[in-house]
């Protein structure tokens, strides 16, 4: 989740609807300025006890963050508590129960992305060795109950933790027990944004299937391959899902603004503190009628904060966020941006990918999204066949897109090698969760603690 930037000096009050569209319009960039921003979360555990470390304990989350100063990272504080570290490679921040996230810098190519990932993982491993902690690359805690997990000292989390049980039964699990890999990508125009949004939203279930990596709950198989994805189905219907209007012919910035105005608020940030506005209307805020700040109107930062509180399968801010994948180890962290960059950053690949899915009805898209958490690549696709059949075609298109980009490393290799781990998944017929289940039912003898050797 986002770490708020409080350094901005100019924060005008929103006086017109044009200011609501502005963040999306300002995201438009020429193709040569398109960048790749990769985010990945990991579970932190004590090696001796396998428990999740608290924020304050010696060698806990605060100490892990502060140890990163040795590598040039600088602390970000909220109410005197270190909640993130900023550096050349982006931001290292905290998720609600201490999951550690790198929100990477905007980079030109996937070689840089994977190098950034490698630097970060090496740094946290080095720190982890000192404090006796390890890092687990899964989509969800395999054995922890909610009650066994610590809560991090971020004001927005307190508000969300109170609000989540009012709107769904699994929202607390989303906050406390899950991890993801995401990639943030650019667009050149409103039309380009719309095509990329539609294509990636239709194909998001495929990414969920390929990266499915959360088959355990409280020490036992949970009946799903991506329980993390299932959790989103009962988190908060006002701010999650496949958002059907994206596939309407008139979809654009204005329509997304309308959607966000209908998403209930979580909070307002004032004077260094989060004010609980959960369930209130941003439309009322625009009219100066927000009950917790009567007579006050929102600023541009308030709107930007609000844009970060919707959680659809693909999210629009001043870039597009691909949100469908479970957390995983190093190779899959590199594979997720490769998958989407190959599809979305070459026009020929984008057109070919859209051609595969443009004939699907909204009911068919929803049915596929709902089937994937349990079935992954065995889910039925519209028109017949399995999702694994579509995966082969889509990976071929992604590879062609990466080849067309022609981004080479110092050895002369292009970016297609980052797709190899996904090729292997499709060829084997088993997604990562199925491999873990085979081990659990086989060599592990039902001992879930064996999963802790499955790290980065």
Label residues 390-401 b or e (16+ Cβ within 10 Å = b).
bbeebbebbbbb
Q: Give the span between the Cα atoms of 75 and 92, in whole angstroms.
A: 9
CA distance 170 to 229: 11
CB-CB neighbours of 249 under 10 Å: 6
Q: What angle do the packed helices 18-26 and 300-307 form, to 10 degrees? A: 60
Burial class (CB in 10 A: 0-12, 13-18, 19+), 130: exposed
Rounded-to-integer distance, Cα 304 and Cα 300, Å: 6
Q: How far is 172 from 188, CA to CA, in rounded Å?
A: 37
For the chain, what are the domain ranges?
Answer: 18-263+310-448
Count Cβ atoms below 10 Å from residue 220 Cβ, excluding itself: 13
Residue 96: its pLDDT value, please? 98
**Cβ–Cβ under 8 Å, residues 439 and 130:** no
- Tell me if 210 sits within 8 A of 339, measured CB to CB: yes
On whether the 18-263+310-448 domain is CATH 3.30.590.20, my answer is: yes
- 267 DSSP β-pair partners: 276
**For residue 347, how many C-alpha atoms fall within 13 Å in the half-sphere facing its CB?**
4
Query: Would you report the helix, strand and coil content of the chain in percent, each value rounded to 5?
Result: 45, 20, 35
Contact call for residues 396 and 353 (beta carbons, < 8 A): no
Distance CA(381)–CA(240), nearest Å, equals: 22
Q: What pLDDT, on the 0 to 100 scale, is given for residue 454?
A: 75
C-alpha–C-alpha distance, residues 438 and 314, integer Å: 31
The tens-digit pLDDT sequence of the chain (456 residues) is 556 555 556 899 999 999 999 999 999 999 999 999 999 999 999 999 999 999 999 999 999 999 999 999 999 999 999 999 999 999 999 999 999 999 999 999 999 999 999 999 999 999 999 999 999 999 999 999 999 999 999 999 999 999 999 999 999 999 999 999 999 999 999 999 999 999 999 999 999 999 999 999 999 999 999 999 999 999 999 999 999 999 999 999 999 999 999 999 999 999 999 999 999 999 999 999 999 999 999 999 999 999 999 999 999 999 999 999 999 999 999 999 999 999 999 999 999 999 999 999 999 999 999 999 999 999 999 999 999 999 999 999 999 999 999 999 999 999 999 999 999 999 999 999 999 999 999 999 999 999 998 766
């Amino acid at each position: 989740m986002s770490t708020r930037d409080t350094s901005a000096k100019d924060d005008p009050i929103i006086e017109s609807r044009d200011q609501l569209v502005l963040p999306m319009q300002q995201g438009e960039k020429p193709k040569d300025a398109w960048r790749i921003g990769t985010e990945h979360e990991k579970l932190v555990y004590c090696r001796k006890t396998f428990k999740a470390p608290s924020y304050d304990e010696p060698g806990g989350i605060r100490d892990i963050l502060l140890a990163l100063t040795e590598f040039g990272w600088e602390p970000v504080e909220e109410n005197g508590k270190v909640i993130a570290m900023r550096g050349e490679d982006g931001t290292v921040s905290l998720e609600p129960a201490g999951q550690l996230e790198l929100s990477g810098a905007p980079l030109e190519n996937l070689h840089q992305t994977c190098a950034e990932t490698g630097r970060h993982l090496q740094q946290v491993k080095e720190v982890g060795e000192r404090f006796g902690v390890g890092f687990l690359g899964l989509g969800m805690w395999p054995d922890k109950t909610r009650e066994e997990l610590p809560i991090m000292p971020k004001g927005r989390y307190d508000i969300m933790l109170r609000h989540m049980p009012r709107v769904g039964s699994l929202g607390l699990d989303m906050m406390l027990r899950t991890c993801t890999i995401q990639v943030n990508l650019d667009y050149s125009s409103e039309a380009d944004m719309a095509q990329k949004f539609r294509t990636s939203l239709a194909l998001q279930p495929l990414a969920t299937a390929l990266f499915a990596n959360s088959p355990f709950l409280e020490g036992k198989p949970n009946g799903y391959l991506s329980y993390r994805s299932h959790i989103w189905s009962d988190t908060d219907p006002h701010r999650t899902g496949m958002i059907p209007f994206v596939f309407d012919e008139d979809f654009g910035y204005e329509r997304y603004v309308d959607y966000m105005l209908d998403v209930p608020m979580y909070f307002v940030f004032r004077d260094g503190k989060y004010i609980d506005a959960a369930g209130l209307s941003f439309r009322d805020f625009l009219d100066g009628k927000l009950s917790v700040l009567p007579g006050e109107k929102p600023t541009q930062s308030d709107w930007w904060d609000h844009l970060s509180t919707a959680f659809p399968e693909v999210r629009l801010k001043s870039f597009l966020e691909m949100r469908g994948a479970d957390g995983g180890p190093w190779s899959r962290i590199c594979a997720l941006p490769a998958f989407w960059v190959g599809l979305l950053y070459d026009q020929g690949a984008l057109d070919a990918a859209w051609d595969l899915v443009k004939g699907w009805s909204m009911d068919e898209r929803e049915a596929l999204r709902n089937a994937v958490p349990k079935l992954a690549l065995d889910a039925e696709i519209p028109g017949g066949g399995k999702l694994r059949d579509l995966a082969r075609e889509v990976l071929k298109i992604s590879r062609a897109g990466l080849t067309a980009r022609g981004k080479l490393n110092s050895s002369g290799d292009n970016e297609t090698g980052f797709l190899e781990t996904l090729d292997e998944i499709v060829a084997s017929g088993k997604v990562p969760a199925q491999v873990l289940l085979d081990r659990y039912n086989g060599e592990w003898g039902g001992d879930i603690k064996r999963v802790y050797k499955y790290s980065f």
